[in-house]
Amino acid sequence: STNFAITKHCKNGQLHIARNLFDKMPQRTVVSWNSMISGYSKRANFIEALGLVSLMHRANVQFDQNTFSTSLSVCANLQSLTDGKLIHSLLLKSGSENFEFVGSTLLHFYASNFQIEEAKKVFDELHDGNELLYSLMLVGYVRCNLMSEAFDLFMKIPEWDVRAWTTLISGYAKSEDGCEKALELFCWMRRCSEVMPNEFTLDSVVRACSKIGYLREGRAVHGVLEKFGCEFDPSVGSALIEFYCNCKAIDDAMRVYNRIVNLNPVTWNSLMSGYIQNGRHEEVLQLYVTMRRLSIDSTRSTFSVLFHACSCLGSLQQGQLLHAHMLKTPFESNVYAGTSLTDMYSKCGSILDAQKSFASISSPNVAAWTAIINGYALHGLGSEAILLFEHMLEQGVVPNAATFVGLLSACGRAGLVNEGMEIFHSMQKHYGVVPALEHYCCVVDLLSRSGHLHEAERFIIEMPIEADGVVWGALINACWFWMNMEVGERVAERMHTMDPKPTFAYVIMSNIYAKLGKWGEKMNMRKRLKGLEVKKDPGYSWIELNSRVHVFFVEDKTHSDCNMIYETLEHL
């Protein structure tokens, strides 16, 4: 009955309730473990899932095929090669690799980590009894841009389904010189196969035509699209518009656009907003390019979304180009577009441009004032932020909760303790804004940064709402800066009671012990960290080149040019 309840809560996304039930079970079966691990995995909480796998192994619970399959899938998503190989060794001892889904997940794990030789070993050993491995191996070759190997494997597949055709066609369409080959394969598919293309196949073929400017062939594909009713798929429709624009057939692009808009109501702004919500910021900018080609008018909302995309990308260059476009419209003084522009310049490091943008807004509202105050906070201009706040009050604009977060952050970064505390105590008294957890966190950061660690600790204890890990984390981070072992140890224990794996706290304390020469305590802390079996999130950096932002982090294998990058590093 408890296993059933755990499964139900996991399915409903109530992982904390499910975990509470799991932790209280006097005796757990393999089903109990699998339900909890699967629940974490399905909600993309892969670190917790992998932690449970480790606990399960240490508890001497024998893995079954479901455990192996889910665990390898988790390692694939985390791109955790070391953990996946350990699970593979357990799998070999158990003899479960011949189960269809276990073998498939094992191959998928190696392919996801770009270990194509290891993936091929799995394929060679298991593919006779598992036809699913052909599709996964094909995807692996395509992901690694090994198109010759992908084609050879495709020719050996017992039965070509739409997935196999689409995988190969899309691989060639994305490769540097493969667009013509993608079109040849599509013609072959239509001539010799009874398999019907789907929207993903057709999307890839349209984009191949777009890349090489094949207008006649693209129009023929458009006819197939209409036959299969895929023209009105948002992705396919967008690809068609881009194709006709690239081929200078603007009238055709406009016709496609009008049909899409007039039919499933798709507007450019809503499409951009959808991309923003899904973290696809570069596609937002590409959509805007298509809009410009079609001479579609931009609205204030268009620019607001575009500037938000630039701030998320950290792309000052793109933001400046868009600002130049907006100067030709009546929207520069508009409060919504102007607020997004101010925010973009602040987050991209140009506070002077942020000030100018704010000054251009005709009647700034509380959101606009908050944006420029936040900008000053980001740039450590605490006194200037307070002066702005006073000017805002003179203009009759009433501050909200977000305004006070910006103000308190500005005071914290500038070390203005007295001013910050005065603002905090005035929030509810003078402006009717009840302090929330983020305001308390700002105060802790304010006190801690300035070295008032005991006051910060007392402030947290006396808070009317329960502090979370972020609040305590602000304090322990300051303990590292000020090398205060006494307060740090108390905070670390607090964080341990809230989270059984307080990685951040243990790392900080380990560094404090090392700095103070407490090597015994440092080694003990390192042992505790090792026992948690967790990894620190990698730091990353980025550069903007040819209007594109490239992000890099340690052992990154996701960049399109990763092979060339690693070869260059090896050469250097």
User: Is 100 part of any domain?
Assistant: no
Neighbours of 199 (CB within 10 A): 19
541 and 557 share one domain: yes
pLDDT over 60 at 514, yes or no? yes
Supply the CATH number for residue 448's domain: 1.25.40
User: Is 340 part of any domain?
Assistant: no
558 and 490 share one domain: no
* CA-based end-to-end distance of the chain: 60
467 and 453 share one domain: yes
Phi/psi of residue 296, nearest 5 degrees? -85, 130
**Residues 251-300: pLDDT tens digits?**
888 888 777 765 473 467 777 877 787 788 888 888 888 888 777 888 88
What pLDDT is stored for residue 125 in this prediction? Answer: 85
Which positions ≥6 away from 334 have C-beta within 8 Å? Answer: 300, 361, 362
Specify the DSSP element, H or E, that contains 223.
helix 215-228
Distance CA(494)–CA(243), nearest Å, equals 58
Closest CA to 182 of 217, 158, 156: 217
What pLDDT is stored for residue 25 in this prediction? Answer: 92
Q: What is the DSSP string of 366-398?
A: HHHHHHHHHHHHHTT-HHHHHHHHHHHHHTTPP
Which of these ranges, 347-356, 510-519, 540-549, has the smallest mean pLDDT?
A: 540-549
561 and 530 share one domain: no
509 and 468 share one domain: yes
Total domain count, the chain: 2
Using alpha carbons, list the distances in angstroms from residue 33 to 54, 66, 243, 278, 500. 11, 10, 50, 31, 18
Helix (H, G, I), strand (E, B) or coil at 297: coil
AA identity, residue 405: V
Which positions ≥6 away from 292 have C-beta within 8 Å? Answer: none
The secondary structure of residue 127, as a DSSP letter, is: G
User: Is 519 part of any domain?
Assistant: yes
497 and 531 share one domain: yes
Per-residue confidence band for 345, with pLDDT thresholds at 50, 70 and 90: very high
* 128 against 28, higher pLDDT: 28
Cα within 13 Å of Cα(320), Cβ side? 9
Helix (H, G, I), strand (E, B) or coil at 295: coil
User: Is 501 part of any domain?
Assistant: yes
Distance CA(44)–CA(32), nearest Å, equals 19
AA identity, residue 555: E
Phi/psi of residue 332, nearest 5 degrees? -60, -35
Which of these ranges, 202-206, 245-249, 416-420, has the smallest mean pLDDT?
A: 245-249
What token pair was written down for 342?
A: 């101010």
Distance CA(487)–CA(555), nearest Å, equals 36
**Ordered alpha helix ranges (H), 95-198:** 100-112, 116-126, 132-143, 147-156, 162-174, 179-192
**Residues 445-472: pLDDT tens digits?**
999 999 999 999 999 999 998 888 889 9
The secondary structure of residue 298, as a DSSP letter, is: P
What token pair was written down for 391?
A: 């000017």
Q: What is the DSSP string of 512-565?
A: HHHHTT-HHHHHHHHHHHHHHT--PPPPEEEEEETTEEEEEETT---STTHHHH
What pLDDT is stored for residue 168 in this prediction? Answer: 96
516 and 555 share one domain: no
What pTM does this model have? 0.56
pLDDT over 90 at 307, yes or no? yes
529 and 542 share one domain: no
pLDDT over 70 at 309, yes or no? yes
Q: Are 346 and 307 in contact (CB under 8 A)?
A: no
Distance CA(247)–CA(561), nearest Å, equals 27
Report the phi/psi class of residue 167: left, alpha or beta, with left for phi > 0 and alpha for psi in -120 to 50. Answer: alpha
Helix (H, G, I), strand (E, B) or coil at 265: coil
561 and 517 share one domain: no
| Domain span holding position 487 | 435-536
Q: What is the DSSP string of 231-246?
A: TTSHHHHHHHHHHHHH
What pLDDT is stored for residue 263 in this prediction? Answer: 47
What token pair was written down for 469?
A: 């890990």
Instruction: Please state the three-class secondary structure of 459-512 as a single string.
Output: HHHCCCCCCCHHHHHHHHHHHHHHCCHHHHHHHHHHHHHHCCCCHHHHHHHHHH
559 and 532 share one domain: no
Q: Mean pLDDT throughout 214-228? A: 90
Q: What percentage of the chain carries pLDDT values higher than 90?
A: 49
The secondary structure of residue 258, as a DSSP letter, is: H
510 and 541 share one domain: no
459 and 526 share one domain: yes
Per-residue confidence band for 342, with pLDDT thresholds at 50, 70 and 90: very high
Q: Are 472 and 437 in contact (CB under 8 A)?
A: no
Per-residue confidence band for 181, with pLDDT thresholds at 50, 70 and 90: very high
What pLDDT is stored for residue 266 in this prediction? Answer: 47
* 506 against 234, higher pLDDT: 506
What token pair was written down for 25?
A: 């079970």
User: Is 521 part of any domain?
Assistant: yes
What pLDDT is stored for residue 261 in this prediction? Answer: 65
**Residues 3-51: pLDDT tens digits?**
889 999 988 888 899 999 999 999 999 999 999 999 999 888 888 999 9
User: Is 489 part of any domain?
Assistant: yes
Distance CA(221)–CA(218), nearest Å, equals 5
For residues 496-505, one letter each, b for 16 or more C-beta atoms within 10 angstroms of the residue's C-beta and e for the rest, the string is eeeeebbbbb
Mean pLDDT of the chain: 88
AA identity, residue 352: L
Per-residue confidence band for 567, with pLDDT thresholds at 50, 70 and 90: confident
Which positions ≥6 away from 343 have C-beta within 8 Å? Answer: 307, 308, 311, 354, 371, 374, 375
User: Is 295 part of any domain?
Assistant: no
User: Is 450 part of any domain?
Assistant: yes
